[in-house]
Amino acid sequence: MPSLQSVISCLSDYDPSALPVEQANRIIAEVIEPVSGIEQVAIRSALDRVLAEDVVSPIDVPAHDNSAMDGYAFSSAALQAANGGEVTLRVIGTALAGETHGLTPAAGEAVRIMTGAVMPAGCDTVIPQEFTQAVPGAGSEAGSESGGEAAGEAVRFAADAVRAGDNRRLRGEDLARGKPALNQGRVLQPADLGLLASLGIAEVKVRRRLRVAFFSTGDELRSIGEPLDAGCVYDSNRYTLHGMLRRLHVELIDMGVVRDDPAALEAALRSACENADAVITSGGVSVGEADYTRQIMAELGDVTFWKIAMRPGRPMAFGRIASNGHQALLFGLPGNPVAVMVTFYHFVRAALHRMMGADIAPPPLMRVRSAHAIRKKPGRTEYQRGILARGADGQWEVRITGQQGSGVLRSMSEANCFIVLGHEQGGVAAGDPVEVMLFEGLL
Ligand code: AMP
Ligand code: MG
């Protein structure tokens, strides 16, 4: 793993006191490597886990050409022969799904076929039942639901009701044997479990779960159940962190509240480092008098302190700490509750994905109109909390939630998206387009 110093020394315009969001993310990405442990799990237990190997399809899915409709299978040569007129075919039998059949229609013949049934030899097209008519005097009515024994009937249909190859599913069109079905790094979704099942695969190799330890720092913090002394606040960051981390399917180690006391902080950081892959703290990374966090973090490893050019969430510590032969990645987040969430989503989330070996695209940004003017200075990235909804004219528009202070957690709770105002961007006029990042999928 490259050291922080070696990564930073390669940057020509590195300024830790006004670091652009993108540059911080680039440094973080370069320092991180995925954990190496691998487990084999049953596919149901693989939901939300990170695939540790490429899965190559051992079979063709579907295994045979088959019908996509209930209807009649025939050779498309009959369409050319009809030359835009009517096609009449004698029905020689019925092909049901899940059976093999030896039906081989000759020219002028068809096979009644059900959805999923194997295409008869020589047939490449299926005319759906509802486009056909029974030929009078040739048995029971085609096109009805009566079904039954079809042999001996005849059907007719307009040649232009279907094109050659229609309503036929090709062997291997879903997954071809020998081709990669899923790539390593994939965070397995419900469709992937089904896809693995369709290949007959019972178990897959996944990366071991990441262990993440977290604690809050500050003498003013009280835990739920304790009396709220004058000048104190309840610790909320551990709960938002718990929620955000749960969504990443990591193993959580909640270490509670740690006082602003050098010995207590050192003990907590060491214990976290010895038990987890990553450590997340909140509070104490700004330059406050009673904040010893920075000093202790710096003593335990390769840690850098940034003022990020963003709002909210300026101060942040990042690096690697070591204790008794164990190493862990460290994220020292700001104390303010909104800043914790914003820095988590815009730095920590992608970093943890990388540690998990997960190949996840950055969340998409949508461009929508701003319902009102927003003040913004160029030179920092802002993550305002927004509510995306349809405006009076039916178009999507976003408005900011009331108070945007970095201590106002209600702004996150009410919002359904971040309004992302880029580093270079200035103020926004009412009606201007802005980029939003939806919470759905992120949270
Ligand atoms: P700090 O970064 O430690 O100076 O904290 C900045 C602000 O965030 C202060 O007002 C703290 O009281 C508040 N704060 C810090 N940690 C927490 C927490 N865990 N829960 C709620 N508020 C917090
Ligand atoms: Mg503090």
CATH assignment of the domain containing 248: 3.40.980.10
Contacts of 250 (CB under 8 A, 6+ apart): 209, 210, 211, 212, 352, 356
The pLDDT, as a whole number, for residue 404 is 86
Indicate whether 272 and 303 sit together in one domain: yes
Query: Tell me, what's the pLDDT at 313?
Result: 81
Residue that terminates a domain, selected from 139, 169, 199 = 169
Q: Does ligand 1 have an atom closer than 6 angstroms to the CB of 269?
A: no
Ligand nearest to the CA of 286: 1
Q: What is the pLDDT of residue 363?
A: 94
| Atom from ligand 1 closest to the CA of residue 282 | 16
Name which residue leads in pLDDT, 149 or 186: 186
Q: Are residues 298 and 315 in the same domain?
A: yes
Quick check: helix, strand or coil at residue 351?
helix
Same domain, 56 and 188: yes
175 in a structural domain: no
Average pLDDT (207-230) is 96
Confidence of residue 84 (pLDDT cuts 50, 70, 90): confident
Output the domain CATH number for residue 110.
Answer: 2.170.190.11
CB 39 less than 6 A from any atom of ligand 1 = no
E strands, 313-357, where? 315-323, 326-333
Task: Give the model's confidence band at 134: pLDDT under 50 very low, under 70 low, under 90 confident, else very high.
Answer: very high
Indicate if 217 and 256 belong to the same structural domain.
yes
User: At 396, which CATH number?
Assistant: 2.40.340.10
**Which tokens belong to 317?**
């510590």
Name the residue of 214, 233, 291 whose CB sits within 8 Å of the most ligand 1 atoms, as the mutation to test its pocket: 233
> Would you state the pLDDT for residue 312?
93
CA of 338 to the centre of ligand 2 (A): 15
430 and 283: one domain?
no
Mutate to test the pocket of ligand 1, among 336, 342, 408 (most ligand atoms within 8 A of CB): 336
Q: Considering the domain boundaries, does residue 346 fall inside one?
A: yes
- Whether 239 and 219 map to the same domain: the answer is yes
What band does 144 get if pLDDT is binned at 50, 70 and 90?
very low
Q: Bin 347: left if φ > 0, else alpha if -120 < ψ < 50, else beta.
A: alpha
Does residue 389 sit within a domain? yes
Q: What is the pLDDT of residue 145?
A: 44
Query: Does 34 reside within a domain?
Result: no
pLDDT for position 142: 46
Q: 171 burial class (0-12, 13-18, 19+ CB within 10 angstroms)? A: middle
Cα(286) to ligand 1 centroid in Å equals 10
Domain that holds residue 431: 366-438
- Would you give the distance in Å from CA 65 to the centre of its chain? 33
Question: What percent of the chain shows pLDDT beyond 90?
Answer: 87
CA of 283 to the centre of ligand 2 (A): 5
Q: State in Å: Cα 407 to ligand 1 middle.
A: 8
For residue 10, CA distances in Å to 3, 4, 6, 13, 25 come to 11, 10, 7, 9, 15
The distance from CA 422 to its chain's CA centroid, rounded to whole angstroms, is 23
**What is the pLDDT confidence band of residue 289, given thresholds at 50, 70 and 90?**
low
**What's the burial of 325, exposed, middle or buried (CB within 10 Å: 0-12/13-18/19+)?**
exposed
- What CA dihedral angle connects 22, 24, 27 and 31, to 10 degrees? -120
Same domain, 216 and 130: no
Residue 272, in any domain of the structure: yes
Ligand 1 pocket test, candidate residues 221, 286, 331, 343, most atoms within 8 A of CB: 221
Is the pLDDT at 395 greater than 60? The verdict is yes
Residue 282 domain flag = yes
**Residue with CA at minimum distance from ligand 1 atom 5:** 335
HSE on the CB side for 318, CA within 13 Å? 29
Using one digit for the tens of pLDDT, what is the confidence trace for 182-199? 999 999 999 999 999 999
Same domain, residue pair 56 and 197? yes
Report pLDDT for 293: 87
Residue at a domain's end among 331, 356, 381? 356
The reply to whether ligand 1 has any atom less than 6 angstroms from the CB of 218 is yes
Statement to judge: residues 199 and 56 lie in one domain:
yes
Query: At which of 190, 207, 224 does a domain end?
Result: 207
**For the chain, how many structural domains are there in total?**
4
Distance CA 281, CA 70 (A): 61
Whether 228 has a pLDDT exceeding 80, the answer reads yes
Indicate whether 361 belongs to any domain.
no
* Segment 409-433 mean pLDDT: 97
Indicate whether 107 and 237 sit together in one domain.
no
Mean pLDDT of the chain: 94
> What's the whole-number mean pLDDT along residues 11-26?
93
The pLDDT of 30-47, averaged and rounded, is 96
Please check the confidence at residue 296 and state whether its pLDDT lies above 90.
yes
pLDDT tens per residue across span 87-117 = 999 999 999 999 988 999 999 999 999 999 9
Pair (197, 218) in one structural domain: no
Residue 143: predicted pLDDT = 45
The answer to whether the CB of 337 is under 6 A from ligand 1 is yes
Q: For 15-24, what is the mean pLDDT?
A: 95
Query: Do 257 and 190 have their domain in common?
Result: no
- For the chain, the distance separating the N- and C-terminal CA atoms, rounded to the nearest angstrom, is 30
Q: What integer pLDDT is reported at residue 87 of this predicted model?
A: 97
Task: Give the pLDDT confidence of 332-391 residue by residue, as tens digits.
Answer: 999 999 999 999 999 999 999 999 999 999 999 999 999 999 999 999 999 999 999 999
Please indicate, yes or no, if residue 149 is contained in any of the structural domains: yes
* CA 337 / ligand 1 centre spacing (Å): 7
**Across the beta sheet with 326-333, what order do the strands follow?**
251-258, 211-217, 278-282, 326-333, 315-323, 301-307
Tell me, what's the pLDDT at 443? Answer: 64
Give the pLDDT score at 151: 59
